[in-house]
Structure 1
């Protein structure tokens, strides 16, 4: 007989669940027997995911993770529908690319707000539940937190900050039985990355990376690795095993990145430079108000 997952019968919350890794983790969690609350800004996309899953196993709530009041309202509804969460995955995140000098300050600020403030609001909102259930919080950071890359200043800074936030949270709640982990996925085949690959800025970054750091991994595979980390209540979750080695080399990476970027940046500037992008992908557009699907902010 297969051993049941420790997630069976538990309630899990996944933010940024409309697409990509968030939707993938929601599917995988349901496959493990969990009840899943999908939180995000794209109501139609989340509804499609919920419709794919067994009836009653998941429900979606449209909410902005940076809106503390709306998140509190949503948490009340999640508890009423599924009970207190044992797992919270702070996955919501957006990105933009381009030189800092040419970047839009409001977009730069919004990337940091969603990726860092949104994570803190998520944790603060559901921490009483995790204390009650002695649960587990997973902060989805990125390889970018370990090896910051040029042309991704807001994204790299925010993912490093999110990592640090989770480590502080772990120190505050470990003695009360709550586990906190940080996930370090590399490039996953999501809509955000596919859109990014059509821009000169992200193409330049990706082309300068050595293998396997330049490789794109299937999103369902990455989601599976992250959920395994949740099952194990891991402190660090590596979607690709080689990322563990990158973390060990962290003290030397800033120097290596500068040396590796020298030629790339000179080449880009000699060719006229590269334009800053807008928010990458439909999820980024929804989070910055440039999407045709305008989200409700009332937590319903």
Structure 2
């Protein structure tokens, strides 16, 4: 019907919804008429967000890196709401430091949450999206387009999820499922504020040229993401200048190397002291809030017909 709000009565799933981009996006989608399924590690925070939304909402305490748990969650969400129309793969963590000084476990966890977790999210919810001819939005980053020194795991994971989403689009377009990629620069979240506590990363950011070095307010960036969800857009830019950055991506690695070459000798000794932990309050919660998956009988996953996954 002409003028009918595109999200009214639709069910939207947002991972990493306890804080930051995920929380704000949940609020914005709810205000635009969607029913919200919030997924993440911080159960108390998820409950707080769900209770504060204007429309119908529920939350699921799930680690996106647990593939079986995500399948159970997807089925539970569908039982709760009936249909699933939108899935936003937003859950993410970051760490800072020189690659040669990395903590292998922390480096791996960034890849697991950001890349493997996104793939688990897509795989778990894809049957429902195929039924609804729905929309999947993968949150990527400027880090998918340009190298960010001292953030190798984050850049690798975001480049990976961008490629994953573009490839998934080719596999499901003929089913009517739309796949989008959301790009964000430094946006005012706990993760970015946590990065500001790392002296070398803070100094490096201060030396970046405009507009890449500034921190952008959360609200306008999320409003653009929500508008992209309503349009079922292929690409969504939290900051408008990222559209140009995406088209200039082939030149960005060389430009970043040229710009940072003079600064790294000064920053390198300071970077060696960067904490070997995930950044921000969300990163801290990642190590303390992972749920223990219950044991259960196995049944075939609806996409494969043979792969064993736990029954709900």
Is the 2:143–2:158 contact (alpha carbons within 8 Å) kept by the matching residues of 1?
Answer: yes
Query: Does structure 1 residue 183 correspond to structure 2 residue 179?
Result: no
Query: Does structure 1 residue 30 correspond to structure 2 residue 35?
Result: no
Is the 1:22–1:91 contact (alpha carbons within 8 Å) kept by the matching residues of 2?
Answer: yes
In the TM superposition, 1:167-246 aligns within 5 A as 167-246=166-245
TM-score w.r.t. the length of structure 1 is: 0.94
Is the 2:31–2:54 contact (alpha carbons within 8 Å) kept by the matching residues of 1?
Answer: no
Cα shift readout 1:80-125 (whole Å, capped 9, x = no counterpart): 1112211000000000001001110111011001100000000000
Distance, in Å, in 1 between the alignment partners of 2:5 and 2:219 is 18
Residue number in structure 1 paired with 2:291: 295
Is the 2:67–2:120 contact (alpha carbons within 8 Å) kept by the matching residues of 1?
Answer: yes
Residue number in structure 2 paired with 1:275: 273
Q: Which structure 1 segments of 5+ residues have no match?
A: none
Cα shift readout 1:151-191 (whole Å, capped 9, x = no counterpart): 00000010000000001100100111000010101111111
**Deviating more after overlay: 46-55 vs 134-143:** 46-55
Structure 1 residue 146 displacement after superposition: 0.6
Which structure is higher in RCO with an 8 Å CA cutoff and minimum separation 6? 1
Distance 1:66 1:294, change over 3 A: closer
Q: Which structure 2 segments of 5+ residues have no match?
A: 295-309
In the TM superposition, 1:1-300 aligns within 5 A as 3-54=3-54, 57-269=56-268, 272-277=270-275, 278-287=277-286, 289=287, 291=288, 293=289, 295-298=291-294
Aligned-CA RMSD value = 1.7
TM-score w.r.t. the length of structure 2 is: 0.90
Is the 1:222–1:239 contact (alpha carbons within 8 Å) kept by the matching residues of 2?
Answer: yes
Distance, in Å, in 1 between the alignment partners of 2:111 and 2:274 is 16
Distance, in Å, in 2 between the alignment partners of 1:169 and 1:243 is 22
Distance, in Å, in 2 between the alignment partners of 1:226 and 1:272 is 36
- SS of equivalent residue, structure 1 residue 250: coil
Distance 1:193 1:297, change over 3 A: farther
Distance, in Å, in 2 between the alignment partners of 1:294 and 1:126 is 20
- SS of equivalent residue, structure 1 residue 251: coil
